Structure 1
Amino acid sequence: MSLHRHPDSPLLDHCPETLPAWTYHDPGWYAKEQGAIWAREWIHVGRKNDLAPGTMRRIEVAGQSLILCHDREGRITCFHNTCRHRGAELCSADESPLGKLITCKYHNWAYATDGRLVSTAFGTPTADFRREDHGLFAVHVREWNGFLYVCLAPEAPDLVPDMGLSALENWPMATLVTGHRTEKRLKCNWKVFWENYNECLHCPGVHPELCDMVPIYRQGIMAANEAPDWSPEAPRPASNLREGAVTWTATGKPCGPEFPDLTPEERASGYIFVTVYPTMFIVAHVDHVRAVTLAPIGPEETRLTAQWLFPAETLAQPGFDPAEVASFATIVMNQDAEVAEMNQRGLKSDRFKKGRLMPQEFDIHRFHHWVRARMEAAGEVIG
């Protein structure tokens, strides 16, 4: 049966090949991706309001140990976790108090929170030593909507969420508070996760609860314009959610006050997804926001961290349980984790070299182009 598609349809007009199977488990290729993608893009490292002033946190990005600092004046900085004297680690704990100085415990070299070398302690430099040349190795830091990002590249690229930097401007993002957090290790390559995220062909068979909440998902599509017979004149549903539901909770009822500045279209949508490759996606609802962060920790293992963000007044409600709000999306994420790991195991077959995408998997095709472009920019070509 041939596919009849409107010229404005996002559906593919062919069935392209996927990335080669070996790129999902080969250690050498994984190392190249770390350098070409994870060390060059903006990587989400947490919420600003979860890093108290006067605190430094040890983090890892693309195999590099870093320290993320929030000083008592409210400034956020980031540096390689390396003393310029002889390379000792500066921060050994997950989090440590941060005063006016970052001091190495080995020989007491001390740095200002902007990275400048302040003291060599008991060492007595000679005339050939220029203190200004021995500050900490700085890493680019950016805040967007209360989220903190770092970039290891010498020159940081623009931060480019798929829906634009203004996509969440009607949500009070910077003032939201983390109410619930989960972490899970997925036994799959990071690209497998993003591929699952980018299609809904699996939804009818994998996500019964989600398909009940979002009826169009029962058709294996994420939006009306993905239907093979779609045209711009087709009527639009009043809401993406089932009748009576306004948000992603078990009941569909809001968990607290709804955000006051949302447009009628944003309320009717029930959810807005914003993606920042390769590091995270954000799902904004009328009453709360979920942020999901990925961090590859091996060719076939990925750490997934999910945070549910709420207004402070919602968290202050008597008897409020943020874990109960999180329970619905947690079911969906656990189902996705199961099939992503199943996908990863199957990719190890000696007979399977590449797959073929269906027309509805246009977003996976775009993601593959995104990966290829960044690898090719680093001189690495995927066959």
Structure 2
Amino acid sequence: MTDNASPLLDRCPETLPAAAYRDPDWYAREERAIWRRNWVHVGRLNDLPPGTMRRVEAGGQNVVLCRDGGGRVTAFHNTCRHRGAELCSVAEKPLGRLITCPYHNWAYDTSGRLVSTAFATPTPDFVKADNGLFPVHLRDWNGFLFLCLADTPPALRPDLGLEALDAWPMDRLKTGHRLVKELDCNWKIFWENYNECLHCPGIHPELCDMVPIYRQGVMAANEAPGWSKATPSAPVLKEGARTWTMSGAPCGPEFPDLTAEQRANGFNFVTLYPSMFVVAHVDYVRAVTVTPLGPERTRLTAEWLFSEETLSQPGFDAAEVARFATIVLEQDGAACEMNQRGLKSERYGGGRLMPQEFDILRFHDWVRAQMDAS
């Protein structure tokens, strides 16, 4: 490092090889080593009403989320133990007391226990207790639902800790706006773009106006040229701005329990590799989910979460609140697709990271460690 308090690299390490972004075999290895061994975000609890069954995908696997009438949520591989038919063949459908296979009517309770083989007449060698649904590990963190396909799931580890969002009333926030966008790029390219701001001056004029330090191509003051511990701190957002809206004004009441530092930050990022990051503001929270669709295809799902008090304001327009971050996300998406097209060149085998790309190096090291562990 160049300074005890500066994160800048003191070298220019190599990037991942180009094959990591386009090779089907590499992608298949990642799916097994990363996406089926880690916690993957699949949606908000309050967007899954009681009495609902929903089909989702995690790590390339077909999974069904079940929330019974009492509000309990379970998850299973979307396959009947009889001959493997899908239990849920639509995006979402009502769920009663039982999960019933539409093919031969085998039925399971919402804990996955087989309770009926319908018209089939098993012989004594068939043991019902051995033929329940295949469970998938599920965890609720701040109202976000995560699945893990591993037999023994790892701990859920947001980069700032499980308590990072404790000052926000996360469990009570409701989804007010959603944006789904598919990008022609590898999922790691999106995370790399997320982890640096060298691109900000050329790609994000609106964001650089809102966050003045970004005009220097850095994410924080301690990365800027000439910075020292004696450099006086400056406001994160431009003068008069409190949050990420087009005007910088809060869209509703500010959350009351935030610390002075959390308010002064203007935005508070929390990252959960490989599938999600959260941005908590003084007046709303935004969550972005990353879903790989193939070696060169990625889906982004951005959700804006608000308090009931904010949503119930006369004339409240969640889409207008989302407009600022949507502009930034659209710009990032175009940059990621540009990156993907360029690295297809037969001459490009890999690159070198710059000192300001320390978080990309950490991400690459995380990917390498995950792949090696498998």
Q: Into which bin does the TM-score normalised by the smaller protein fall? A: over 0.9
Paired residue for 1:381?
none
1:256 aligns with 2:276: no
- C-alpha separation in 2, matches of 1:331 and 1:207: 9
Counterpart of 1:298 in structure 2: which amino acid?
G
- C-alpha separation in 1, matches of 2:333 and 2:115: 48
Unaligned runs of 5+ in 2: none
Question: How far is the alpha carbon of 1:7 from its aligned partner?
Answer: 2.3
- C-alpha separation in 2, matches of 1:144 and 1:7: 34
Counterpart of 1:276 in structure 2: which amino acid?
L
- 1:132-147 matches, within 5 Å, as 132-147=129-144
- C-alpha separation in 1, matches of 2:27 and 2:169: 37
Paired residue for 1:231?
228
Identity %: 70
Question: How far is the alpha carbon of 1:235 from its aligned partner?
Answer: 1.4
Query: Normalising by structure 1, what TM-score?
Result: 0.97
1:298 aligns with 2:294: yes
Counterpart of 1:372 in structure 2: which amino acid?
R
Question: How far is the alpha carbon of 1:229 from its aligned partner?
Answer: 2.5
Q: Deviations over 1:200-259 (max 9, x none)?
A: 00001110000000000001111111124322232112x210000000000000000000
Q: Deviations over 1:89-134 (max 9, x none)?
A: 1001100101110001111110000100011111112211111100
Paired residue for 1:88?
85
Greater mean alpha carbon deviation, residues 118-127 or residues 91-100 = 118-127
- 1:73-84 matches, within 5 Å, as 73-84=70-81
Check whether the contact 1:6–1:230 (CA below 8 A) recurs between aligned residues. no
Paired residue for 1:195?
192
- C-alpha separation in 2, matches of 1:242 and 1:291: 23
Paired residue for 1:247?
243
1:8 aligns with 2:5: yes
Check whether the contact 1:69–1:76 (CA below 8 A) recurs between aligned residues. yes
1:151 aligns with 2:148: yes
1:210 aligns with 2:207: yes
Q: Matched residue of 2:123: which SS?
A: coil
Check whether the contact 1:44–1:150 (CA below 8 A) recurs between aligned residues. yes
Count of matched residue pairs: 374
Question: How far is the alpha carbon of 1:22 from its aligned partner?
Answer: 1.0
- C-alpha separation in 2, matches of 1:229 and 1:141: 47
Paired residue for 1:287?
283
Correspondent of 2:27 among 27, 30, 34: 30
Paired residue for 1:350?
346
Check whether the contact 1:200–1:220 (CA below 8 A) recurs between aligned residues. yes
Q: Matched residue of 2:282: which SS?
A: coil
Question: How far is the alpha carbon of 1:263 from its aligned partner?
Answer: 0.4
Correspondent of 2:178 among 177, 181, 185: 181
1:331 aligns with 2:343: no
- C-alpha separation in 1, matches of 2:180 and 2:351: 30
Counterpart of 1:173 in structure 2: which amino acid?
M
Q: Matched residue of 1:118: which SS?
A: strand
- C-alpha separation in 2, matches of 1:296 and 1:113: 29
Correspondent of 1:20 among 17, 21, 34: 17
Q: Matched residue of 2:145: which SS?
A: strand
Query: Normalising by structure 2, what TM-score?
Result: 0.99
- C-alpha separation in 2, matches of 1:68 and 1:252: 38
Correspondent of 2:305 among 309, 313, 331: 309
Q: Matched residue of 2:238: which SS?
A: coil
Question: How far is the alpha carbon of 1:328 from its aligned partner?
Answer: 0.2
- C-alpha separation in 1, matches of 2:180 and 2:296: 17
Q: Matched residue of 2:365: which SS?
A: helix
- C-alpha separation in 2, matches of 1:236 and 1:282: 25
Q: Matched residue of 2:3: which SS?
A: coil
- C-alpha separation in 2, matches of 1:299 and 1:348: 12
What RMSD in Å do the two structures reach over aligned CA positions? Answer: 0.9
Question: How far is the alpha carbon of 1:8 from its aligned partner?
Answer: 2.4
Paired residue for 2:365?
369
Check whether the contact 1:20–1:354 (CA below 8 A) recurs between aligned residues. yes
Question: How far is the alpha carbon of 1:74 from its aligned partner?
Answer: 1.1
- C-alpha separation in 2, matches of 1:124 and 1:230: 77
Q: Matched residue of 1:265: which SS?
A: helix
Check whether the contact 1:54–1:71 (CA below 8 A) recurs between aligned residues. yes
- C-alpha separation in 1, matches of 2:252 and 2:156: 31
Q: Matched residue of 1:78: which SS?
A: strand
- C-alpha separation in 1, matches of 2:53 and 2:143: 17
1:267 aligns with 2:263: yes
Check whether the contact 1:15–1:358 (CA below 8 A) recurs between aligned residues. yes
- C-alpha separation in 2, matches of 1:63 and 1:244: 45
Unaligned runs of 5+ in 1: 379-383
